[in-house]
Amino acid sequence: MSEIKVRKANPAVEYIQESYLEMKKVTWPTRNQAIRLTLLVLGFCVAAAIVIGAMDAAFSYGHQALINYAATVNPQEITDTSAATTAPLTGATATAIPVSGGVTTTVPITDNTTPAATAPVSGPVKQ
């Protein structure tokens, strides 16, 4: 018996050939259609950018207005809560230190007998 060997084409070459045949079937837009459609897409992009920018500005304004309103309603309730706390300090007193924006924060002061027990003050101050 004789064997018949069927030679298979390289898949990459076959893909390129089929792609070329499919590209010949495509109906391409005319130059005027391409320009008109491109301008239409750019117009929608600009319109979307304007709408998103306006929404961002409105939300930013509203957010800032809420912050300003909260500061005028009861400014004593706005304090710095970001200071790290450690074990309770014995014999320590506290003092109020003014921070920018009229906000004060309370910082523990030691009696110099336990300098390692002070809590570091770091982080942003809520305004």
Mean pLDDT by 10 residues, the chain (127 residues): 72 92 93 97 98 97 92 65 53 56 58 54 58
Q: Which of 64, 72, 67, 80 is nearest to 122 (CA)?
A: 80
State residue 3's pLDDT score. Answer: 73
Q: Give 58: exposed, middle or buried? Use CB within 10 Å, 0-12, 13-18, 19+.
A: exposed
